[in-house]
Amino acid sequence: MEKRLFEYFKDSFRLGAAVGGILYDYEGAVKKHEKFLEFIKTHPKPEGIPDFKIPPLPKGPFIESDILAKHFNLVVAENDTKMCNVFPSPNEYDFSSADKFIEMAKKNGQAVRWHTLVWHNQSPKWIFEDENGNKASKELLENRLKDYIFAIGKRYAKDVCSVDVVNECISDKNFVLRDGNDHSKWFEIMGPEYVDKAFIWAKQAFPNSSLVINDYNLETMPPKREGMYNLVKGMLERGVPVDTVGLQMHINLENPPVSEIEKTIELFGSLGLKVIVTEMDVSVYKDFQPGKESEPRKEYTPEILNVQAERYRKIFDCFKKEADKGILQDVVLWGITDRFSWKNDFPVPGRTDAPLLFDVNGNPKPAFYEICK
């Protein structure tokens, strides 16, 4: 019998994938898709966000379901466990899609990550307002957040191995906590202590789960990495129960060097923290590099895919080394096949990408075979 991908890493770390709702709750995914289409018709696009098309939802059966069940032993929901979907209106929880996600994981024998409790994006607008539509008081927002965390923990703590308690809280502008001028209503109303309080409540609600602070570009932007280091170091000194740093790791064929990935993992490990890779993909483009224009769509030639394969192998070799040191715990890919990657149409509308281990038809790519060596 062919070996399952996660079995190659069973002595090092769990191997996970992010899962879209169409694989476990198609009816719910259709409703959310229709609701989103209505939303974008009536709301202006935020400044700085490129134009992009919202494609229709494809119909199954989905080869991704078979790949997920066979090759991954850890899963995370792409969207259905975010606050906007679970807590859409005051005093109304909607656990329908999250429940189906958990059921799928149990059927497949997979561990579960919860993404995410607190994020400045995809939080419902009402949670920051009082009953009159004015800005919520600090006390009101604190009570709502605490009740929310405990409600999620009461229902799912027994099923969840790790929780992204706070997501993307470090600013790209000054590399400290995002404030109200940098899109964080949590900071604006509750102050910087919202992070500490979220972790304290999460520890009570999820006593047996890893508690993660998760962010992007920590391995590519040294000032942001230092900002996160200073934040978690201070949290530990204050006795806040953070135990894991999540590195999203949306990277490309060149950046960052593997040495920077290793340096980042070991920096947080030096504080006694664990590290997990939470959203990995390896784009075949080099966007977001200083002084470089966005690249036009390219053909995914054997040469490019072989370069990507070598890149994946070197990074996974680093992961295994850091896991052997007891620092790295999990590696999660943000998607299953290139067909549904979030990198399609972003950041360049109309341009597809090929950042994952399986192609659009569900076939293993050279990177799949390379990391198994």
Residues noted as catalytic: 168, 279
> What distance in Å separates the CA atoms of residue 334 and residue 305, rounded to the nearest whole number?
18
In 10 A of CB 133, how many CB atoms? 8
Classify residue 10 as exposed, middle or buried by CB count within 10 Å of its CB (0-12, 13-18, 19+).
exposed
CA pair distance 180, 281, nearest whole angstrom: 30
* DSSP letter string, 320-353: HHHHHTT-EEEEEES-SBGGG-TTTTSSSTT---
Contact by Cβ (8 Å): 160, 113: yes
Beta bridge partners of 293: none
CB 186 within 8 A of CB 167: no
DSSP 8-state code for residue 18: E
For residues 10 and 152, give the distance between their C-alpha atoms in angstroms, rounded to a whole number. 29
Which one-letter amino acid corresponds to residue 304? I
* The one-letter amino acid at 325: K
Nearest to 22 by CA among 82, 97, 96, 107: 97
Contacts of residue 126, defined as CB under 8 A and 6 or more positions apart, other chains included, come to: 89, 90
CB of 163 within 8 A of CB of 206?
yes
Contact 279, 332 (CB under 8 A): yes
In whole angstroms, give the CA distance from residue 313 to residue 109: 27
Gap between the terminal Cα atoms of the chain: 17
